[in-house]
Structures are given as structure tokens and as C-alpha cells.
Homo-oligomer: A and B are copies of this chain.
């Protein structure tokens, strides 16, 4: 099957496509209310979009007291692939043009196995989704990787936790394999885009999205756009000094945030606590599973284990301290906490809030919500789909 070949011919068409993506099916009249174009001009552009096949008119809406309107919607056959490569697992999802998830697969996998192995995995997951009848092919794909990316080229640069990926032409390679356009970004940025599209950050222009998983990163959205920085490493807050003279970090410094709190650090601390007999709850789990993860700590905390709660609180204090600084600096309108540790829930959130509200200036925190992400593990893949749709729904 031939996939989406057309692109919007001008800014008006691009605008209309994005309205239909974000707002769902609309009548011509409703679209007209949103785009500040005359009805005639609007009709012309809609007709052209219909000709290209990017949008279709299917059926009539219920009357609102007059002539019934035609439903204009994005072509129902459009399919985007969203890929979120984490440090320890891969998420792949298919969405329609409205970025609704039609199918979602998750697979544990170590990113350090390198691009070739991971690609094989991703492609087989994509094939499985296609085979299940959700898509006959993909019109575009977005992919997030856990490290800095030279965005225009779609190439990871100097990624600390995935050294084998340095300079690997992710965009080009995946585009070749899938036969469709591909865009690549940092996984944290995609999480931010996901929450902006369909999560807690809808209609917030400036916000921070802190992702705490194996490592720690921060998506920065300024004026509705993702800020990627000069070399694509913006948001890399894992190595900000949180504890002067603190623990040694893999990066060579001491006291980095990531060394004191992250999924990996938490697992290590919990294991240590279990081995030292400071927590029966954790020790039991360690014996049962052979190793501890953030999930175990969350479960122990939920069961009321004091040591687990302390670990979470202490970690939250560290992250909160760093976030407090970022809030003073950036003055966001919202802070979203997400990533693997979301399961730590309110204990973590409370610690972070305490630090931020105490340390940042009242003017910056006065009306600042600090909340958990709404989309969980789907934020990344939705953000990935949004990334490629933003690209395809822009004039060529």
C-alpha cells in the first residue's frame, strides 16, 4: 500500500492539519472559527486537502439548529509509529493521525547492546504491530533515545549511557528500514511533548518535565517549543552537583544528582539497606527476586516500611533541591515529574514540593503546580508520534 505522500502546501493547510490532529474531527464552520480566514478561502484549502487525501469528509454531524455539517477528519488510514528507547526497555506504539494509541508493546532490553541489536528488536515489534492488523504501513515514525541528539540530523552525540550509539545515523537507518520519514529526539523531550499533547501540560507554554528513571533528565518547554540547546544536551541535569563532596559518580565528579538519586541509585541503596538488615521488607524482596528495583522500594514504602520511605524522602529532597534551583532560573508555569519512579508516588512528590516551595522565591512558586505525569509509559511514544506528525504536518 502506498502511504502518505502529500504534505501541506502552505501554512494554512499545516495549521488545519494540526487543528484536526489536536481537536479531532471538525466541521468547516468550526475550523473557520479557529483560523481567522474567510469561509471562502477556508473552503478552498479544505478542498485541496481533500484532494490530496490527507483529510476526508465522512458523514454528517448532528444538526445544531440548521443545516447539518460535514465531518472533516484526518485520513483514518494514517499511521504513525512511536518508539521510546529507554535504558532498560523499549516501547513501541502505533497511533492514528490524532495520535491515539492503537497498539502498544513493551520489551525489556539493555540499550548498551548497541544500535544494531536494538533496531532489530524495534523492527520486530513494529512488524508484530503491523501483523496484528493495526497498520498496513507507517506514514512516519518518531524515536526517542536516552541521550543527547543532534536534532537536525537525528544522530546521538556522546551519549554517556549508550556509548555504542555515538554518531550512529539513527534517523537515516530507521527511515531506510521502515520506508517512511523519521525524526529522532531525546527521550525526555518526547515525554515533555507527550504530556504537552495529551497530558497534564496541555495549554501550558513554559514548563519543565523531569524524568526520573535509570538516570535523570529534564525536558524544557519554552513558549510552546522544546528547548534543545546548542549541542542538543539541554536538560541533562543528572550531573548537576546535588551534594558537595558527595558520592563519586561515573562521570568522574562527586555529588552528582544521579549518583544520589535515580532508579539505579535507589536500587543500590535499597540493596545495601537490605543487606545491612535495616529493612525486613526489603530483605524479603531481595531474597525473593535476587535483586531490587525502584518497584520493590515503592512496594515496601506502600507497605509502610520506614527505611524505604526514608530512601524515597531523602532522594526527593535531593531532586527537589535541584529542581528548586531550576525553578528560580527558568520560572516555569508547571513542573511535571515522570519516569520509572512515578510509582514512588506521593511520598516522592511531597518531598520535592517541600524543597521547591521552601527554597524558590514566592513569586516563582506562588502559583506553581508540581504534579506527576498523566500518561505514564505512554508519554514517550505519544511524544514520538507528535514529533513526526509536527514534521509531516508542516509545509515541505
Interface residues of A (CB under 8 A from B): 148, 157-158, 160, 205-206, 218, 220, 222-223, 225, 227-237, 239-241, 243-244, 251, 253, 321-322, 324-326, 328-333, 358-364, 366-368
Contact B361 A331 (CB under 8 A): no
Partner of A206, one of B225, B229, B324, B330: B229
Besides the contacts A223-B227, A235-B329, what 7 more A-B pairs have beta carbons closer than 8 Å? A222-B223, A229-B332, A236-B331, A237-B329, A239-B360, A322-B325, A329-B330
> Which of chain B's residues have a CB closer than 8 A to the CB of A324?
240-241
Partner of A364, one of B218, B229, B362, B367: B229
The 4 closest A-B pairs by CB, nearest first: A229-B331, A234-B331, A230-B333, A240-B325
Shortest C-beta distance, A290 to chain B (Å), equals: 33
Contact B326 A329 (CB under 8 A): yes
Q: How far is the CA of A251 from the CA of B187 in the complex (A)?
A: 37
> Which of chain B's residues have a CB closer than 8 A to the CB of A220?
329-330
Chain B's closest residue to A225 (CB) is B223
Contact A361 B328 (CB under 8 A): no
Contact A227 B236 (CB under 8 A): no
Shortest C-beta distance, A350 to chain B (Å), equals: 19
Interchain residue pairs with CB less than 8 A apart (21): A158-B363, A220-B329, A223-B227, A229-B364, A230-B332, A231-B331, A232-B331, A233-B328, A233-B363, A234-B329, A235-B331, A236-B329, A237-B325, A237-B328, A237-B329, A239-B360, A239-B361, A243-B244, A253-B358, A322-B325, A325-B325
Known: A241-B359, A358-B253, A359-B253. A231 touches B364 (CB 8 A): yes
Contact B363 A157 (CB under 8 A): yes
Q: How far is the CA of A243 from the CA of B329 in the complex (A)?
A: 17
> Which of chain B's residues have a CB closer than 8 A to the CB of A329?
218, 220, 234-237, 240, 326, 329-330
> Which of chain B's residues have a CB closer than 8 A to the CB of A251?
361
Chain B's closest residue to A234 (CB) is B331
Shortest C-beta distance, A11 to chain B (Å), equals: 13
Contact B363 A231 (CB under 8 A): yes
> Which of chain B's residues have a CB closer than 8 A to the CB of A244?
243-244
Q: How far is the CA of A244 from the CA of B225 in the complex (A)?
A: 34
Shortest C-beta distance, A295 to chain B (Å), equals: 28
Contact B236 A328 (CB under 8 A): yes
Q: How far is the CA of A241 from the CA of B239 in the complex (A)?
A: 16
Q: How far is the CA of A360 from the CA of B321 in the complex (A)?
A: 18
Q: How far is the CA of A205 from the CA of B230 in the complex (A)?
A: 8
> Which of chain B's residues have a CB closer than 8 A to the CB of A364?
229, 231, 233, 236
